[in-house]
Chains A and B, each alone.
Chain A
Amino acid sequence: MDSTLLFSLRLSVQVALAATFLIVMVGITAAYLLASKNFKGKELIDILFTLPLVLPPTVTGYYLIILLGRNGLIGRFVYDWTGWGIMFTWYAAVLASFVVALPLMIRTTRAAIESVDKSLINASLTLGHSEFETALRVVLPLAKKGIVAGTVLSFARAMGEFGATLMVAGNIPGKTNTMPIAIYTSASSGDWSNANLMVIFFSLMSGLFLYIANQFTKRTI
């Protein structure tokens, strides 16, 4: 086996784990707020969070470059002050995966949270618990299946991210070539045996993740 193959596998897992960690933190919070609160601009926020799900990853990548490139709206300040840029690093790959997979987590979790009986929440309040405690001890535990399913789906999506990742992290062997990018490079240069190996592995792994996610969603509804 090629050393790049092992490296790209390790990198893909690393990126996906980091992205999924962020996704779980942000996703659960966002899903809870969207599910239980009404505030001005809620519809807009909802659309904004869902956009990466329907936009092509290249468009998402494009927006990330505009924001975070060396000349980007935010990136230029970071570069001027620290001389550091996120582009072409594995952090950029994490960010790309995060943005692209977050909507999946939010949608799944939000649906699960919304299906929790409101009277359970009322009961918890009358028993002296704050909204935050209620969320932690009643709502989220009851939404567990949806949360786990969302997490697994997000992880799988993060592992498979390609378009936006290629645009912001680039293809740097030994640094940012996640497995999807490595497959692309192998196929582009005619290295079919390498590509085959990676493709088979990836397909099996994705199938496994879907199976796991299904087990959790089957019994809800």
Chain B
Amino acid sequence: MGLSIKLLKKVKGFTLDVEWKIGNELAILFGYSGSGKSLTLQCVAGLMEPDQGFIRSNGDLFFDNTLEINVPPQERSFGYVFQDRVLFPHMTVKGNIAYGLKGLRRSEIRDKVAEMINLFHLQGLEDKFPSEISGGQKQRVALARALIRRPKALLLDEPFSALDGPIRLEMRRLLKEIRNDFDIPVVLVTHDVMEAYTMADKIIVYSEGRVVKTGSPSEIFYLPVGVEVEPLRDRI
């Protein structure tokens, strides 16, 4: 169960050196922009290759440089929601969501897609194109698309940063529902304090490529933790 990683990667003068472990919970990678949070997600998904380390989930080993294991992204079965949503512009909402399904009969696909449409309240939008729907709706499509394959973990890179306040609240609630329904590790990257505080089961604080503190929201925000976290904390 869960997700455990250790990564060392040097890229363009920046060094990422992190190690953490989570269970089937919603963990938030929290920190300033450029502290290595997105890079961590990309490595976990297999879109970038670490120099050293390992990536393990659910008893499966996806990366280990000492054993020369590097599973390509298409075989890792992680759901990924990108910062800019990245929906396929030439496919409808239905098409985008169904894209993650392979090797199923037409009727099965139809059923699963319908299930997702309902779960994410996208009724009526099935045949629309990404350019015709709102930001919040796009985000829900992206989530549906990632989750339809029942991935082993869900990775989200600042998924709500481009959304307005009220929609954000709604998305956070939705994500908590997902965490409950799907029982998989969920890793979310954000630099928004409110998000971190209200959504996380566990917060992993990043600073300049390293993990400086991990703990529950109350531990992180109420106990004295040092100079890196205080400025962030004071933003509440």
Task: List the interface of chain A (C-beta within 8 A of B).
Answer: 117, 119-120, 122-131, 137-138, 141-142
Contacts and interface: CB of A to CB of B under 8 A. Distances in A.
A126 B90 contact: no
Given A126-B80, A129-B102, A138 B88 contact: yes
A126 B73 contact: yes
A52 B47 CA distance: 37
A127 B76 CA distance: 9
Interface of B: 45-47, 72-80, 82, 84, 86, 88-90, 99-100, 102, 145-146, 149
7 contacts: A119-B82, A123-B88, A126-B46, A126-B73, A127-B74, A127-B100, A127-B145
A119 B80 CA distance: 11
A132 to B, nearest CB: 10
Contact of B86 (A123, A128, A129): A123
A126 B82 CA distance: 10
Contacts of A117: 86
Nearest to A128: B74
Shortest 8 CB-CB contacts between residues of A and residues of B: A126-B80, A127-B100, A125-B73, A123-B86, A119-B86, A125-B74, A122-B47, A128-B74
A122 B73 contact: yes
The secondary-structure label for the interface of chain B is loop
Nearest to A130: B74
Nearest to A142: B90
Contacts of A138: 88
B90 A127 contact: no
B104 to A, nearest CB: 12
A130 B90 CA distance: 19
A123 B80 contact: yes
B72 A125 contact: yes
A142 B89 contact: yes
Nearest to B89: A142
Contacts of B80: 122-123, 126
Given A125-B47, A127-B145, A119 B73 contact: no
Nearest to B148: A127
Contact of A127 (B46, B84, B89, B99): B99
B187 to A, nearest CB: 13
Contact of B99 (A119, A124, A131): A124
A129 B96 CA distance: 13
A141 B80 CA distance: 22
A113 B139 CA distance: 26
B102 A126 contact: no
Most buried by B among A119, A126, A127, A142: A126
Contacts of B47: 122, 125-126
Given A117-B86, A142-B90, A126 B72 contact: no
Nearest to B99: A127
Contacts of B88: 120, 123-124, 138
Contact of B82 (A122, A129, A131, A142): A122
Contacts of A124: 88, 99
Given A117-B86, A124-B99, A125-B72, 10 more contacts: A119-B84, A119-B86, A120-B86, A123-B88, A125-B73, A126-B78, A127-B145, A128-B100, A131-B74, A137-B99
A117 B88 CA distance: 10
Contacts of B76: 126
Nearest to A125: B73
